[in-house]
Amino acid sequence: MSNMRDLWYDWLGMNTWLFKQINSLSDISMYASLMKLVTIFGDKKFLPVIIVAIAIFSLASTIARYVTKKGGNRNYIFMWFNIFILLGSGFLAGNYIIDYTKKHSYYPRPYIALQGEVRQLEAQPADEAYHSFPSGHAIIITILVFALWPAMSENFRWAGVFLIFFVAWSRVALGVHYPMDVISGFVLAIIQMSIIRYILFSIIRSIRGILKV
């Protein structure tokens, strides 16, 4: 690594050291199995299942509000409308950020840079060997939790925060990312979603004002 990368990416060796500490715990079979399960929530391949589940829940909860006559149905529908717009635009932008950054950063994954010292518990395609930075899983799970935040109760918000943490942790535990990769993925997703939310909500508020809905 260059001196600049040593400083901002590897933290003068601390990034690699921390990776080894977390990854070494994967010798425990139950822990390794748990990490393989948790990491699914940030997997792009599993994303359609999550989106369908969210759509079913939003529809069922909206119908339940009408049946029980809770009131505030219009605002509730707009909340879900906003959530799905955030999810769609967030994943479109996130996919571009992931592809662009990975192709141009060209950072080796731990099992390449630290051959023989890594417990790699997730197979990766050969063309992904130098796409360590940033973590796509960390970006995906952060986008999900960020978009769903308005629909979550306080307890579920805490669950969302913990889910982001454990998905990020699992990427290191499985030997495919450094801590800096998942931290950077989280930060990039938060910045991206904050900008998207500000722009979209400004547009939606203007439209609602014009239509008086």
Q: What CATH number does residue 192 fall under? A: 1.20.144
Q: How many domains does the chain have?
A: 1
User: How would you label 35-44 residue by residue, b for 16+ Cβ within 10 Å and e otherwise?
Assistant: beebbebbbe
**What is the pTM for the complete model shown?**
0.93
Query: What's the pLDDT score for residue 208?
Result: 67
Range of the domain at 165: 27-205
Q: Long-range contacts: 204-207, Cβ < 8 Å, 24+?
A: 204/78, 204/82, 204/85
Query: For residue 145, is it within any domain?
Result: yes
Q: At how many degrees (to 10) do helices 179-211 and 136-148 cross?
A: 30
Within a domain: residue 15?
A: no
d(CA 63, CA 31): 40
- Could you tell me if residue 14 is inside a domain? no
Is residue 142 in a domain? yes
| Residue 78 pLDDT | 87
Could you tell me if residue 77 is inside a domain? yes
213 part of a folded domain = no
In a domain, 51, yes or no: yes
Taking alpha carbons only, the member of 195, 171, 198, 199 closest to residue 185 is: 171
* In-domain check, residue 150: yes
Ranges of the chain with pLDDT below 50: 1
- Distance from C-alpha of 84 to C-alpha of 204, rounded to nearest angstrom: 13
pLDDT at residue number 131: 94
